[in-house]
Structure 1
């Protein structure tokens, strides 16, 4: 015989899937459901929690629980689905510059005439060739880090760097503290490796570190995942005091720190990486996908010496080594200054796109960094996020709901806009359409 709460869950699920309960319908409060179904308040809360896990409803702080638009494409905002050529993609960022393809052509010509071309066809050391690691270590000195070549492991992009850190240093069941909103790729890793994520509440300038300390006192945490320099999706840049406090908490409670610096290059003169505050326990992960091109899957992990063997073992078990052809191109561009030039141009590009978004959406509430390729757009109370995303998709504009980024029990009432994957004219067109669609929903 089914438990009472399961019967109620099935009733709601059937009504939602049959269309009897339409998307956007506000469900009874927990207390009202408890009274109507003659169950305890805890059971009513359990019903809504299970429906939310099933993807059928979303609970929003201060607003209630609503039926979700379940006809949205599966995984919208997380799985990179095929986007038709006429769709304006504001869901994923893959910024590029006009002359990048020509620079790649030149780099391949130079590589073809190099003396050690045959060596690129052989297996490489798992962490990368020593000369390449020296080049990347020197490049990292510009970020505030001072690693030696031995501290650097070359990986297939920042996402594999995160995978290697999780696979090599954590175990299934480990508890990891994360921001209430985080990069979806880490959420996917946590699910794959059966990690438990605990959300750190946020304030206007970053994670609530007092709350993190309290979480550490209640729970046995193994690690904290953080993006202190240009947080995705909120654009935070933690200041010196915040970084010192986070490092102190990590030392006090013996936490591993996984520092994700994928977008850090967009910030001019940021504070030093968190890895400089707690170098003995921090794994620093970066990549060249955003600063160069997403197709060049090259990244780097900087780690303490006592973690190196475990991380190299994870590289060996997954990809053996990063393709040396791509690494050679990236290292050549480091040496001739191409990457620094690309970074400077993309900072300017991101700043222009951000300014355009702020101008068009001037009357909206948003959170972002002035140099960021993304914007967190908070929606008016009358506008349903999933319905808005659906309507925009019908107008050939792809954006993400808050769901892929959310790690807390309360779903933020917002969408995330990626600004870096279309032309400026297309971006302007898409943002105006988004603004008008929100206003139309408000009028209704």
Structure 2
């Protein structure tokens, strides 16, 4: 966002003038300072969900939050149910920690929960990883009935739920998070990268009390504590309204970019959400996503194929197109180049 640089300069100036500046030179609690956890807990409070600050742990971004959750609560060989198309960063974690990912078929409206039930009857599934609000890469937002059904299945089969809410605050009126339906077994992970700025590596893990010691131990093992220079900056922005303002601007920016994408890609089978910073574009049966991605790279346009997101044996021919990394004035032309390349690939 254009004004973020100036806001950061002012925030750093205020931080330098604060009376507790010396505290940033010392070790801090592994879960973060309680006063900052209280601020973040209030910030994340929403309908049917009021987190306890004691259960809030501050981490180095949502990816680190997922890592310490996996490290603390899962063991090599554990089976984790995930959507057949899922966040590539979780696939990387699963490979590093030798987890077995079991694919849940994806429907247009969300994961096939009956298939998850069948999977749990057939195998010992330890956990389910879910992105219920702005799924990456498919953009869906699960409704309240789906969230309740997922929570019920988790209780029935004694599953740990890992709720990835990295994109959730881009949605202006999202349903209550899954953790509000099953607070005793859900670890909620979010951050400030998608809704504010990618360089702000502050994340949040909200854990049931019984899981908190293991996650805190994983934080200690990986980073000891999140640098308070950044967490205190984020908390100051929460308290003075800067975070709320940036979130509103991000939502507006995402909607404008989605509108451009809908106009340029009209007629193509685009899958997206109005508040999302990406679109999913399934390709024709004769198209090759890797060939198309390489052709676009020659035009200095980077897109992802389905391979990094795919858990099932058959990789669909599709592209994930990020909309936020291109200056707005250049977005239309970049998407026109994507459309031209897709149509050439289909009719070659």
Bin of the TM-score, shorter chain as denominator length: over 0.9
Q: What is the total number of aligned residue pairs between the two structures?
A: 348
User: 2:3 aligns to what?
Assistant: 99
Distance in 2, matches of 1:269 and 1:208, equals: 24
Question: Would the alpha carbon gap of residues 143 and 391 (structure 1) be closer, same or farther in structure 2, given more than 3 Å must change?
Answer: farther
Deviations 1:214-247 (A, max 9, x none): 0000010000000001100001100111011100
SS of structure 1 residue aligned to 2:128:
strand
Question: Would the alpha carbon gap of residues 272 and 189 (structure 1) be closer, same or farther in structure 2, given more than 3 Å must change?
Answer: same
Deviation at 1:268, TM superposition (A): 1.6
2:80·2:101 contact (CA, 8 Å) conserved in 1?
yes
Residues 1:344 and 2:344 are matched in the alignment: no
Deviation at 1:144, TM superposition (A): 4.9
- State the TM-score, normalizing by the size of structure 2: 0.99
SS of structure 2 residue aligned to 1:199:
strand
From 311, 315, 327, the equivalent of 2:215 is: 311
User: 2:293 aligns to what?
Assistant: 389
2:36·2:231 contact (CA, 8 Å) conserved in 1?
yes
In structure 2, runs of 5+ residues without a counterpart are none
User: 1:74 aligns to what?
Assistant: none
Deviations 1:144-176 (A, max 9, x none): 521121010000000000001000000000000
SS of structure 2 residue aligned to 1:314:
helix
Question: Which structure's CA Rg is the greater one?
Answer: 1
User: 1:13 aligns to what?
Assistant: none
2:46·2:176 contact (CA, 8 Å) conserved in 1?
no
Deviation at 1:443, TM superposition (A): 2.8
From 102, 113, 128, the equivalent of 1:224 is: 128
Residues 1:202 and 2:102 are matched in the alignment: no
Distance in 1, matches of 2:345 and 2:280, equals: 19
User: 1:302 aligns to what?
Assistant: 206
SS of structure 2 residue aligned to 1:286:
strand
User: 1:356 aligns to what?
Assistant: 260
User: 1:246 aligns to what?
Assistant: 150
2:196·2:250 contact (CA, 8 Å) conserved in 1?
no
From 31, 38, 44, the equivalent of 1:127 is: 31
Question: Would the alpha carbon gap of residues 370 and 440 (structure 1) be closer, same or farther in structure 2, given more than 3 Å must change?
Answer: same
Distance in 1, matches of 2:176 and 2:342, equals: 39
Coordinate RMSD, CA, aligned? 0.9
Distance in 2, matches of 1:99 and 1:234, equals: 30
Distance in 1, matches of 2:187 and 2:243, equals: 23
In structure 1, runs of 5+ residues without a counterpart are 1-96
Residues 1:415 and 2:319 are matched in the alignment: yes
User: 1:400 aligns to what?
Assistant: 304
Distance in 2, matches of 1:154 and 1:143, equals: 22
SS of structure 2 residue aligned to 1:359:
helix
User: 2:277 aligns to what?
Assistant: 373
User: 1:138 aligns to what?
Assistant: 42
2:127·2:159 contact (CA, 8 Å) conserved in 1?
yes
2:104·2:115 contact (CA, 8 Å) conserved in 1?
yes
Distance in 1, matches of 2:265 and 2:255, equals: 15
Deviation at 1:99, TM superposition (A): 0.5
Distance in 2, matches of 1:242 and 1:176, equals: 19
From 175, 180, 200, the equivalent of 1:271 is: 175
After superposition, residues 114-193 of structure 1 pair within 5 angstroms as 114-142=18-46, 144-193=48-97
Residues 1:108 and 2:21 are matched in the alignment: no
